[in-house]
Structures are given as C-alpha cells and as structure tokens.
C-alpha cells in the first residue's frame, strides 16, 4: 500500500515537472515573438568619407555594440592606410621608397597584396603606385600639372616595383619617389573587414557603405535583399540621381565615376581616375559599377575597368565572373548578362 502510494506520488511529480517545462517553453516562445528584428543604423566620418553601417537585430544594445566594434575596425585601417597622415604605415612605406623595407601589420600587407593581384588581372590599368601622378593634381582647386612633370614621373608608376616579403611582413618600393595610394581599394577592403567584425559579433544581416563601396550580407527583416542605387553619372539637375537599382545579399558593389572629383577646362573633363600609362584622366567611361563577392574586389576592379574602357572592361568582368554596368563616354549603358532581370533601370535614362 505504501509502495503504491510512493509510485503515484512520483508519477504526480513527473507530471508537475512536465507541466512546468511546457510553461517555460510557451513563455520563451512568446517572448521570442515579441522581440522583432529591426534595422539599426550608425554613420561616422572615417577614411575621409561618410561611412554608414546598417544591421538587423532584435536588440538595440547588441546592434549598437556590434556597429561600434565595426567602426573601430575601420578606424584601425584608417590609421594604417591613410595616404595623408604622416604616422600611417602607408606613409612609412612611401617615405622609405628606394631606402629600406618597412615592417607592416598583416592588414597593410594583405591590402597591398590584394592591390598587386588586381594590377596583374587588369594588366596595370589599376595600379596603386599611381601616387606620384595623383599628387600632382588638385581637382578641388583645379590644379593641373605641366605635361613635362607628368611624363617625368611615369617611370615611378609600376606595381612590379613593389617588393613584398611575406615571411618578414615587409614592403619595399624599389625607386625613390614612388608612392603607394590605396584610394581605389582601401574603402572596399574596410567594408570587408567591418562585415567580418559584425559577423563575429553575431550579426547575420547588414550593410556597410564606405561612400560608394558597399557590402551587403543576409536579408532585410522583410526577407528581401538590400536594395542599392546606382548613380546617374550625368544627372539632369545637380542633385544625386539614381539611374538603376539592384538587390544584393552576400555581395559587394562599387561604382567609380568621372563625376566624383573633377573639373572641366577647355571643354575637357579632368577627373581623379588616372590612366597609369599616361598620367592623365582615363577617357573611355563615365562610370563603372562592379558587383562581386568582396568589397576589395569591387572597389579596385571598378577603378581598373574604368581605365580599361568599355570593351576591354566588359571582357575582364566576364573573365573574372563578376557582374557590372558600364556607362561609356557617350552615355551608352552596357550590363553583364548575369544582371539582366536583377537590375531595374529608372525611366529617366
């Protein structure tokens, strides 16, 4: 009798336990459904440009902390790679051109190796040793160099004269006067590093925009890809005008354009994308948009393809398996086949 009572008591205890577990489950499911994913956004000026991070999260604290960490990452790169700051590792490399190899951090080494890779793929149309030429120009004050100086400096522009020693983590520029300028790759590379950091912080969806170099991952809370606008290089009025939009997830996009920094003199447009063969602005395109996996790729290849011009540029995009849109010097628009159906052009073009 006593034994029977004990069995019934333990059965009752098991039932109670199950009921309690059910309650906990229901409460936690309910609290989950109340926490809604939202887009959180922060903007900062770093790398001499406006950087915006959007993340999807169910917690503003978590989103804020993750974005701060990503901005720290970009700030760190800014300190290493800034062309104008005398304390950056990049300036140390440039100051020691023709003198000695400089020991650098893994990030500086990696981005310079990436730049060399893109130079090889573009046959030198992208060349981060463009520094001695680009520093002759000021597109804001309309400063134009004389032809003799432009020609004299051309031998200093050659990515093959960058010596990397991976084991020692050093970079050496072979000729005195050489200058590496990472202006066409660093922002895309920074977007990549920021996304890596956001993912480390547990964020599964977001968008990092370093000016025109953008990397998207995951989907928006509505389950749709991130929608990115591509600027019209010749807007009807002075405002920014979108020429087309494209939906992106887990991809990067960059646009290089002759409208970003330029002046017009004697009917000719002088802008900030230089042909390393001539030292003068590249002339075949108005803008080039590239879509690929990584920001360093889209940033650097959009510049390289711009220099190559529409025909060779399209061919290179095909070879690399990248997508893109090229607006040529006369306003003609060409799109890679893979983008058809994914890109939406506005009526005003």
Work out whether 299 is an interface residue with ligand AMP (CB under 6 A). yes
By CB under 5 A, tell whether 114 contacts Mg ion. no
Q: Are 247 and 270 in contact (CB under 8 A)?
A: no
What angle is formed at CA 56 by the lines to CA 53 and CA 61, rounded to 5 degrees? 85
134 binds ligand AMP (CB under 6 A): yes
**Closer CB to Mg ion, residue 125 or residue 162?**
125
Report which residue's Cβ sits closest to ligand AMP.
183
How far apart CA 249 and CA 263 sit, in angstroms, is 36
Residue 127 interacting partner from Mg ion, ligand AMP, none (CB closer than 5 to 8 Å by kind) = ligand AMP
Q: Can you tell me the distance from the alpha carbon of 249 to that of 206, in angstroms, rounded to the nearest whole number? A: 9
Q: Please tell me whether residue 126 binds ligand AMP under the rule CB under 6 A.
A: yes
Task: 134-143: list long-range contacts, CB under 8 Å, 24+ apart.
Answer: 134/181, 134/183, 134/272, 134/274, 135/179, 135/181, 136/279, 137/270, 137/272, 137/274, 139/261, 139/262, 139/263, 139/270, 139/271, 139/272, 140/261, 142/263, 142/265
Stretch that binds ligand AMP, among 120-128, 141-149, 222-230, 241-249 (CB under 6 A): 120-128
CB of 64 to ligand AMP, least distance (A): 29
| CA 20 – CA 88 distance, rounded (Å) | 60
Q: Does 279 bind ligand AMP (CB under 6 A)?
A: no
Instruction: Among 53, 156, 157, 184, indicate the residue that binds Mg ion (CB under 5 A).
Output: 184
- Per CB under 5 A, which region of 69-77, 124-132, 170-178, 299-307 contacts Mg ion? 299-307
Which of residues 108 and 205 has its CB atom nearest to Mg ion in the complex? 108
Residues in contact with ligand AMP, shown as a per-residue x/- string from 137 to 176 under the rule CB under 6 A: ----------------------------------------
Closer residue to ligand AMP, CB minimum distance, 67 or 326: 326
Which one of residues 90, 274, 314, 326 is an interface residue with ligand AMP (CB under 6 A)? 274
User: Which one of 130, 216, 246, 285 is in contact with ligand AMP (CB under 6 A)?
Assistant: 130
Query: From start to end of 128-259, where are the E strands?
Result: 162-165, 170-173, 206-210, 213-217, 226-231, 242-248, 251-257
* Closer residue to Mg ion (CB): 218 or 276: 276
Segment near ligand AMP (CB under 6 A), from 84-92, 100-108, 122-130, 191-199?
Answer: 122-130
Phi-psi region of 291 (alpha: psi -120 to 50; beta: other; left: phi over 0): beta
Interaction with ligand AMP in 234-273: which residues (CB under 6 A)? 256, 260, 272-273
Whole-angstrom distance, CA of residue 329 vs CA of residue 320:
23
Question: Which residue's CB is nearer to ligand AMP, number 181 or number 197?
Answer: 181
Among 81, 190, 291, 307, interactor with ligand AMP by CB under 6 A: 307
- Give the count of alpha carbons within 13 A of 334, CB side only: 19
Residues binding ligand AMP (CB under 6 A):
126-128, 130, 134, 181, 183-184, 256, 260, 272-274, 276, 299, 302-303, 307
Give the footprint of Mg ion on this chain (CB under 5 A): 184, 256, 299, 302-303
């Amino acid at each position: 009798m006593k034994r029977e009572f004990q069995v019934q008591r333990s059965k009752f205890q098991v039932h109670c336990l199950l009921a309690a577990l059910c309650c906990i489950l229901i409460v936690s499911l309910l609290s989950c459904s109340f926490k809604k994913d939202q887009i959180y956004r922060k903007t900062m000026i770093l790398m001499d440009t406006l950087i915006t991070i959007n993340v999807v999260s169910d917690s503003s604290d978590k989103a804020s902390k993750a974005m701060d960490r990503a901005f720290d990452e970009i700030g760190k790169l800014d300190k290493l790679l800034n062309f104008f700051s005398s304390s950056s590792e990049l300036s140390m490399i440039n100051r020691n051109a023709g003198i000695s190899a400089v020991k650098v951090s893994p990030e500086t080494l990696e981005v310079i190796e990436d730049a060399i890779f893109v130079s090889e793929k573009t046959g030198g149309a992208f060349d981060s040793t463009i520094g001695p030429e680009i520093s002759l120009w000021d597109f804001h004050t309309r400063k134009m160099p004389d032809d003799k100086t432009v020609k004299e400096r051309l031998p200093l522009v050659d990515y093959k004269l960058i010596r990397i020693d991976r084991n020692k983590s050093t970079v050496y520029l072979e000729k005195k006067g050489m200058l590496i300028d990472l202006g066409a790759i660093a922002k895309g590379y920074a977007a990549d590093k920021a996304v890596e950091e956001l993912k480390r912080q547990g964020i599964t969806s977001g968008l990092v925009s370093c000016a025109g170099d953008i990397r998207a991952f995951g989907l928006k809370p509505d389950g749709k890809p991130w929608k990115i606008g591509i600027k019209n290089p010749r807007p009807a009025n002075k405002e920014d005008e979108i020429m087309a939009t494209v939906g992106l997830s887990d991809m990067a996009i960059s646009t290089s354009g002759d409208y970003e920094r330029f002046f017009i003199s004697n009917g000719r447009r002088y802008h900030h994308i230089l042909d390393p063969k001539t030292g003068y602005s590249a002339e075949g395109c108005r803008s080039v948009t590239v879509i690929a996996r990584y920001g360093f790729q889209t940033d650097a290849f959009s510049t390289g393809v711009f220099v190559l011009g529409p025909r060779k540029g399209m061919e290179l995009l095909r070879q690399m398996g990248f997508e893109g849109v090229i607006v040529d010097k006369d306003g003609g628009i060409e799109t890679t086949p893979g983008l058809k159906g994914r890109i939406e052009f506005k009526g005003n073009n």
